[in-house]
Structure 1
């Protein structure tokens, strides 16, 4: 069944001028494939672990974590999905972050979602190159609805693990209805100084200083800059990514301000370029530099920053379909390219339901 599914429903491209190497299409059996993260194994094999929904296509539908793999630096993919983690939640498991720790272990972060009142990040570890995984460690003991997006966790140069999290309050005590969920979020950071064995909240949390907002500070991301300071960035409904900075490993943060990235209510993704102080960002650019559709997650643009995220240049247009819906990007570097995996849906199949992997040559970014 899986073999037939792979033949009929997965359309794989050879790396070509358009750089798209794989589309994983939705199907009646798996109506949504989305939100994942990459890891390179010591053998050179690349794993991409993502969320395979089998109980519907909503954020609360049943889903498991599965992997696909590449042995040629992301040019082609073995698309037979292998189960990494079955659904252990009342709703699902989703939103993967993979991280190679300084110790050599691999950390697998994900959300375990039970109800509209209970969603918390967990982490498991592998000491045998993703063959087996440890028992889960729950990163927040306090009850609540905490969102850790895919491909978000970092290990600071000091060794501290830092996970940026959005906390959503409950409107009432009914766990089975979305009316219990408040879309307005505050941002906080969960940290570990013992390689992920134990976790604690950093002392400070932040709110969006805007009276009328439906989002607050949603879906935070984080990146370490060349001077070891931190930049966090947040999805908002204000037409721009807001941001804050820390110089003490995430203990305290500057007041939240509007940053330079104009966008709809959609997350950005930022990482350092390998061997460089420059940053790479992928987001839905609504600055007007490219054709856009108001409030929609299109176009998808890549840009570089040489000043710690204050300004962005060398833009590369990745996706421009006005009916497209591009978001939740995972970024991963190989020798001569960057791999990008993201939702690439549209109005016909649903915005979050198609998963796309794109391979972009590093030389093309200059």
Structure 2
């Protein structure tokens, strides 16, 4: 099916849900559209993340195992060096806690890895371990060789989860601002800042009450004036949004946008030319279609430019970055069985 036809497939629903705050556009087919792997030693996967290393290698990670919440779920990584194919998935972290004298292994599932390549520093891999999102804890492992090998994972300080699904951003002072959230007392968004790549932390309080708007899993965009916009998933069938004018120390009252959301993860990135790009399910129910939208006015209005998937199924939890060469890379869950990678040309948006 052509890209134009795929956009038209969902256009009536999109127009109905988003009203006057959108336009419909289209882009040429992706430069790259591929599965990161065809076969793996786990039946299910979810919650991918992607980063680029200084030499141009793409590194992707996700959690995989029998099924979400199963104790055997671990964190897996694959690499794609320039001009090569993706490497076979390798498990780099698990939730093993200890072994009893009787030989029983006590283990918890892993969740939501988040990759971030520090400037002049290591590749960071944040993830969570625990029985459920209500009581998980944050973990961090690092790589000095572009994801080939990883340090012994360490637990983050009590009450610090790290970026909960989507990547941090680097502030002008070099600190990382991490969008995070909790689910143990309503769905509430807060932010964590680390000036030293995860050694010490500053944590803000929640920016919503978890009742009038139940919100989690933010992404952070940077405006031309230096202010920040966060937006993400909610239980209210719309994406939420908040603004910070002081580098993430405080945030405006959370509001709901016109963009539909079926209570599923999203991701967004500020492009080098100042535009913002959003990947999300443009529907109130289900996890198909999966769409790409762009904003040229600091997130006030969005134009849907591409539909990644429109067939029945689950296409969800996207991650998006812009590489040094300008190309846009998106990964997402494909029916819980594989992770898909798509590359777009920003000059064609």
TM-score normalized by structure 1? 0.76
RCO comparison, higher one (Cα < 8 Å, 6+): 2
Paired position in structure 2 for 1:129: 146
Contact kept, 8 Å, 2:180 with 2:191, in 1: the verdict is yes
Contact kept, 8 Å, 2:115 with 2:124, in 1: the verdict is yes
Q: Residue 342 of structure 1: CA displacement?
A: 0.3
Match of 2:177 among 162, 180, 197: 162
- In the alignment, structure 1 residue 150 sits paired with structure 2 residue 161: no
Distance 2:260 2:133 in 1: 30
- In the alignment, structure 1 residue 360 sits paired with structure 2 residue 344: yes
Matches within 5 A, 1:100-119: 100-114=117-131, 118-119=135-136
- Once the two structures are superposed, residues 90-115 of structure 1 have per-residue CA deviations (whole angstroms, 9 ceiling, x without a partner) of 32223121112234322111112245
Paired position in structure 1 for 2:191: 189
- Structure 1 residues 247 and 127 mapped into 2: Cα distance closer, same or farther (>3 Å)? same
Match of 2:297 among 301, 307, 326: 307
Q: Residue 66 of structure 1: CA displacement?
A: 2.1
- Once the two structures are superposed, residues 252-288 of structure 1 have per-residue CA deviations (whole angstroms, 9 ceiling, x without a partner) of 1101111232221112211011x211101011113xx
Paired position in structure 2 for 1:338: 328
Matches within 5 A, 1:51-90: 51-53=63-65, 56-72=66-82, 77-88=85-96, 90=107
- Structure 1 residues 192 and 118 mapped into 2: Cα distance closer, same or farther (>3 Å)? same
Contact kept, 8 Å, 2:232 with 2:265, in 1: the verdict is yes
Distance 2:169 2:122 in 1: 14
For structure 2, the 5+ residue unaligned runs are 1-28, 98-106
Name the Cα RMSD after superposition. Answer: 2.7
Match of 1:276 among 273, 294, 318: 273
Match of 2:201 among 195, 199, 217: 199
Q: Residue 314 of structure 1: CA displacement?
A: 5.2
Give the SS at the match of 1:80. coil
Q: Residue 231 of structure 1: CA displacement?
A: 1.4
Distance 1:316 1:128 in 2: 35
Distance 1:149 1:204 in 2: 14
Distance 2:52 2:159 in 1: 33
- Structure 1 residues 22 and 246 mapped into 2: Cα distance closer, same or farther (>3 Å)? same
- Structure 1 residues 204 and 167 mapped into 2: Cα distance closer, same or farther (>3 Å)? closer
Q: Residue 298 of structure 1: CA displacement?
A: 1.5
Contact kept, 8 Å, 2:95 with 2:110, in 1: the verdict is yes
- Structure 1 residues 296 and 116 mapped into 2: Cα distance closer, same or farther (>3 Å)? closer
- Structure 1 residues 151 and 164 mapped into 2: Cα distance closer, same or farther (>3 Å)? closer
Distance 1:21 1:70 in 2: 12
- Once the two structures are superposed, residues 311-343 of structure 1 have per-residue CA deviations (whole angstroms, 9 ceiling, x without a partner) of 11252122111x121211111333253221101
- Structure 1 residues 17 and 311 mapped into 2: Cα distance closer, same or farther (>3 Å)? closer
Give the SS at the match of 1:118. coil
Name the stretch that deviates more: 58-67 or 295-304.
58-67
Q: Residue 200 of structure 1: CA displacement?
A: 2.7
Distance 1:313 1:259 in 2: 14
- Structure 1 residues 313 and 81 mapped into 2: Cα distance closer, same or farther (>3 Å)? same
Paired position in structure 2 for 1:348: none
Q: Residue 40 of structure 1: CA displacement?
A: 2.2
- Once the two structures are superposed, residues 210-249 of structure 1 have per-residue CA deviations (whole angstroms, 9 ceiling, x without a partner) of 2xx7xx1122222333322221123112221011111112
Give the SS at the match of 1:220. strand
For structure 1, the 5+ residue unaligned runs are 1-15, 170-181, 287-293, 346-351
Q: Residue 123 of structure 1: CA displacement?
A: 2.0
- Structure 1 residues 356 and 230 mapped into 2: Cα distance closer, same or farther (>3 Å)? same
